[in-house]
Homo-oligomer: A and B are copies of this chain.
């Protein structure tokens, strides 16, 4: 990065909105992938015009530009791998419109997911995407990864809840995609092309989001199983019911052991698998649905299944898990593969076999209603032989997922972490089209270069 470039950047933004001191820049070097790539400068634009000016400058000087929300991603998508400028959107935090009559919110990319929820809640609505990072992650980051969360089983993921976008392409064009209404079929769907594109095509400057009415009430039940096969069977049975749960979370024996190590009373001693099933709607609907779901949960491996007093009780075991996992394996490999629900029994069994084969302890839990399992390999990155085995294990897990008609990522995205594996899922001709689209939006490969593709 030349001093000439920096001088020009200085003409675009005031001093308080540019960082160049390496100590300051370091704060923008990481995300939850725990890789470190410091940018050479950090820019804090406040509007689309400023973003356009920065994009044009980076094009003129061939400087990489990496858009960044709040850096909570786990795949390295927001890391400036090749240096250059980190474009932090954290100061664009305006909720432009909260239009309850039309069930629409318009927000800048830096708005925190939770802030949007708080604002929508007062009108009786919510925005459906609910990544577990919701309290910290931004709408822009949610859009960039098409974030999901536990409620996706009923409500879908981010791409299902965006009506339109304003964005600045990698070439510096200001574009407007989609519409303000819930129906619209004029032109190609560029909205969903940008959602999930991980900042490689354009910088989102404003999003028109679809709101959903808040459910009247939330209830649910937990079910504990003696063996994982019975639990997986119950998942398939529940998802065959017409009553779609609002969340269907699974915890395996590794997860339950971890919880018992700190809270011995929280789960039955003989349980090796657990389901937490949330249902929302009217009290009557919840009651009827819970009865149907309790029936579907019953099989020979069931220890007990019962309705929980409230949502807090329902989620207690699940919320306990993540911090415990971080304690015992701070540098675990955390995947988010997806397989068809009917393939879960075979998949979970096979994960056990692979754990034995490669002597890599694993802990598996997640959004079973979507077949979306967080496979955690508990490794120590300083143990090289273990890491080599883990890599082979992961490779075999990915092959298995593809064989079962699944996908390598249900919510984290590719970023840099899964880049090497994308070829397992996407064939060469489809990949060539994606690269062609990248060139249309970003001919000089300025925006988040090197991400998504090898």
Complex CA distance for A215 and B284, rounded to whole angstroms: 16
Complex CA distance for A439 and B436, rounded to whole angstroms: 9
Q: How many A residues, CB 8 Å from partner?
A: 92
Contacts A236-B101, A239-B101, A437-B440 hold; do A370 and B182 have CB atoms under 8 A apart? yes
Interface residue from B181, B186, B240, B288 paired with A371 (Cβ < 8 Å): B181
Contact with B along A71-113 (1 / 0, CB 8 A): 0000000000000000000000000000111111000000000
| Chain B CB within 8 A of A327 CB | no
User: Which residues of chain B come closer than 8 Å to A180, judged between CB atoms?
Assistant: 340, 405-406
**Closest B residue to A443 using CB positions:** B436
Contact A185 B412 (CB under 8 A): yes
Contact B429 A173 (CB under 8 A): yes
Contact B441 A148 (CB under 8 A): no
| Chain B CB within 8 A of A31 CB | no
Contact with B along A406-448 (1 / 0, CB 8 A): 1111111110001000100111011111101101110000000
Contact with B along A376-413 (1 / 0, CB 8 A): 00000000000000000000000000000111111111
| Chain B CB within 8 A of A452 CB | yes
**Closest B residue to A341 using CB positions:** B102
Contact B406 A181 (CB under 8 A): yes
User: Which residues of chain B come closer than 8 Å to A433, judged between CB atoms?
Assistant: 169, 173, 175, 190, 440-441
Interface residue from B101, B284, B409, B414 paired with A240 (Cβ < 8 Å): B101
User: Which residues of chain B come closer than 8 Å to A201, judged between CB atoms?
Assistant: 188
Interface residue from B145, B156, B173 paired with A432 (Cβ < 8 Å): B173
Binding stretch for chain B, among A7-15, A192-200, A310-318: A192-200
A179 to chain B, nearest CB (A): 4
User: Which residues of chain B come closer than 8 Å to A173, judged between CB atoms?
Assistant: 429-430, 432-433
User: Which residues of chain B come closer than 8 Å to A62, judged between CB atoms?
Assistant: none
| Chain B CB within 8 A of A47 CB | no
